[in-house]
Amino acid sequence: MRDALLATARGLFLSRGFASVTIRQIAAAAGSSPATIHYHFGDKLGLYRAMLQEAIAPVVEALHGADDPTRATETRLVGVIGLYSRMLAENPWVPALIVQEVLTEGGPFREQFIEQFAGRLAPLLVAVIQREQAAGSIRRDVEPRLVALSAISLTVFPFLALPVAGRVLGLSVEREAIERLAAHTTQILMEGIGAPEAST
């Protein structure tokens, strides 16, 4: 039932907006009860938080494991971008809901998103970039926080633009296309921030 509630909430939040959807409506659409939602998630914001936590779990794991030498490729910036791209392809509702409920002025989930997600993960991403700078694979004259912002922007925007880009550019979220997109994103980014000596 927990998975059914998450899936139902995703659909309703996307089609109607977070503010206009009630716990009762989610429960009814999932064939459940408001009490079940309260049991599993606490409230509507808890349900939204659980949706995001489940979606971004692979990226969180990679960032937390960045010091693990056995996962060197996966936890480098290139690997994180690949994981993030695949996560967005598998969960295309994530960027749309973030725009609606976090970035829009007065977004009801903004503070929770900063506290529970962005505020925790951004420093981990910056730390990955700083380690690669120290190792000589990223130029030392670039600001790690701005590199993090550029990496997120390059990775997320194609998915925000998908309703248009899918039609006019043929952008697809099929696995092979996503791997090409992730490779392209990392190539463009690393050609800008990669240390010259790292490619010789």
**CATH code (residue 163):** 1.10.357.10
Give 114-141 pLDDT, tens digit per residue.
998 999 999 999 999 999 999 899 999 9
Q: Cα–Cα distance between 156 and 55 in angstroms, integer?
A: 14
Report percent pLDDT > 90 for the chain.
Answer: 50
- Tens-digit pLDDT profile for residues 19-78: 789 999 999 999 999 999 999 999 988 898 898 898 898 888 888 876 665 555 445 888
Please list the residues that pair with 138 across neighbouring strands: 194
Domain limits at 10? 1-42
Structure tokens of 55? 């979606």
Do residues 67 and 126 share a domain?
yes
Helix pair 119-135, 77-90: axis angle to 10 deg: 150
Question: In CATH, what number is assigned to the domain containing residue 30?
Answer: 1.10.10.60
State the pTM of this model.
Answer: 0.81
- Looking at the domain assignment, is residue 74 inside a domain? yes
Q: Which DSSP helix (H) or strand (E) runs through 188?
A: helix 175-193
37 in the same domain as 119: no
Q: Do 17 and 79 fall within a single domain?
A: no
Same domain, residue pair 27 and 68: no
Clarify whether residues 26 and 118 are in a common domain: no
Q: How far is CA 44 from CA 2, 7, 55, 109, 197, in A?
A: 13, 14, 17, 10, 51
Looking at residue 142, what DSSP letter applies? S
Residue 101 lies in a domain: yes
- Segment 85-112, tens digit of pLDDT: 999 998 888 888 888 888 988 888 898 8
CA separation for the pair 64, 135 (Å, rounded): 19
Evaluate if residue 200 carries a pLDDT over 50: no
User: 67-78 burial string, b = 16+ CB within 10 Å, else e?
Assistant: eeeeeeebbbbb
For residues 4 and 30, is the Cβ–Cβ distance under 8 A?
yes
Percent of residues, the chain, with pLDDT higher than 70: 93
Instruction: Specify whether 15 is located in the same domain as 89.
Output: no
Radius of gyration of the chain (CA): 19
